[in-house]
Amino acid sequence: MNPIPYGKQFISEDDLKAVAETLQSDFLTQGPKIAEFEKAFAQYIGSKYAVAVSNGTAALHLCTMALEVNEGTNVITSPITFAASANCVRYCGGNVYFADIDPQTYTLDIAKVEALIASKPAGFFSGIIPVDFAGFGVDLEAFRTLAKKHKLWIIEDACHAPGGYFIDSNQTKQLCGNGNFADMAIFSFHPVKHIACGEGGMITTKDEQLYKKLLLLRTHGITKDASLMHENHGGWYYEMQELGYNYRLTDFQAALGTSQLKRANDGLTRRREIAATNFEAFKSKSYILGQSGVVDGHAYHLYIIQVEKRKELYDYLRSKNIFCQVHYIPVHTFPYYQSLGHKKGDLPVAENYYEHCLSLPMYPTLTNEEQQYVINCIDEFYHN
């Protein structure tokens, strides 16, 4: 069997054509492909505005900058995420607080968030960064209710969930990142994600003020809009009005993203099929302590099983050419966060989850044969 990774991009002939055409055009960067990608993505997600950036981490950083996070700003996020969801607060000098996860959904437990807020004086926290971990759409309606009560902003980390949704109290599908409940949402286009740009990211929002600020911060805080400038020396003139960065995406990455986006729904359908097959295969196995399962609206960036002897299984599967991954090492246990006062034992549900979790291969081009081989190897491991 050829090596089977846990995630993999799918580049089609159309993708190659789109990138080649852009490489032969007048604009490698700052050209028309950016706005095209932003428009198509906003439409797909159901958001009003979208801002393309160089990667998901840059997207998070611009969000915390736009919300004026600084020293003394306290923000809550999940420990079961990629470090960037927390790091973006630190980039601006803010303090990260982690609340424990729900053992069923592996996402922020809102009751734990509420308890954490209640443990501090009123006004202590400024915001929450919920993560649609693995592709599970967090109930942002509930988080918005909580946020309103405590005057908090919400940045939704939707890197794992383009096309995912949760069902709100009116039985309406709310697409992850649509901006109906969060102030801003962010996405990543790293190759293992649903849409691959190589590197790439997007911020979505319905807030016009935030949108304008994000545009400015993406390019050094520079504007060329004459109506916003303090002075105007001529056609060449631009003004740097804030301290921003170069977090731009290139046009050929955007062309790839737009082309990939056209197939995003096919990819989602296939991911959901793979998830359903996994669920059926594992649902009655005694060695399974938990699994992602079949969940309406799940976007299945990852399919997770929880097992005993996880390390031994991981090593066994590697010997069989199956390269699973572990998502994630709880962020609060990293030496950097321990140096800030966080410690092992703080978040028992997340830490217990980490001891047992394994992400199985999940990508649209995974074949039925490959998936069956993975399932058989896991079964073999526990029955030998």
Ligand X SMILES: Cc1ncc(COP(=O)(O)O)c(C=O)c1O
Residues near ligand X (CB under 6 A): 55-57, 81-82, 84-85, 131, 157, 159-160, 188, 190, 201
State the Cα–Cα distance between residues 368 and 255, nearest whole angstrom.
30
CB of 278 to ligand X, least distance (A): 20
CB of 225 to ligand X, least distance (A): 28
Select from 67, 298, 38, 297 the least CA-distant residue to 184. Answer: 67
State the Cα–Cα distance between residues 107 and 294, nearest whole angstrom.
16
Q: In what order do the strands lie in the sheet with 125-129?
A: 49-53, 201-205, 184-188, 153-157, 125-129, 74-77, 95-98
CB of 131 to ligand X, least distance (A): 5
CA angle 30, 33, 39 (to 5 degrees): 115
Pairing relation of β-strands 125-129 and 153-157? parallel
Report residue 291 as tokens. Answer: 């699994």
The contacts of residue 171 (CB under 8 Å, 6+ apart) are none
Cβ distance to ligand X smaller for residue 89 or 281: 89
Cβ distance to ligand X smaller for residue 49 or 82: 82
The contacts of residue 89 (CB under 8 Å, 6+ apart) are 64, 69, 73, 75, 77, 95, 96, 129
CB of 175 to ligand X, least distance (A): 17
Cβ distance to ligand X smaller for residue 52 or 288: 52
DSSP one-letter string for 112-129: HHHHHHHTS-TT-EEEEE
CB of 104 to ligand X, least distance (A): 19
Cβ distance to ligand X smaller for residue 101 or 159: 159
CB of 317 to ligand X, least distance (A): 22
State the Cα–Cα distance between residues 263 and 5, nearest whole angstrom.
21
CB of 55 to ligand X, least distance (A): 4
Cβ distance to ligand X smaller for residue 7 or 364: 7
Cβ distance to ligand X smaller for residue 56 or 162: 56
Cβ distance to ligand X smaller for residue 62 or 255: 62
DSSP one-letter string for 15-61: HHHHHHHHHTSS-SBSSHHHHHHHHHHHHHHT-SEEEEES-HHHHHH
Cβ distance to ligand X smaller for residue 160 or 213: 160
Cβ distance to ligand X smaller for residue 190 or 271: 190
CB of 200 to ligand X, least distance (A): 7
Q: Which residue's beta carbon is nearest to the bound ligand X?
A: 56
* Residue 36: other Cβ atoms inside 10 A: 16
Report residue 177 as tokens. Answer: 């990142």
CB of 80 to ligand X, least distance (A): 9
Report residue 186 as tokens. Answer: 């962010």
State the Cα–Cα distance between residues 165 and 222, nearest whole angstrom.
35
State the Cα–Cα distance between residues 62 and 54, nearest whole angstrom.
11
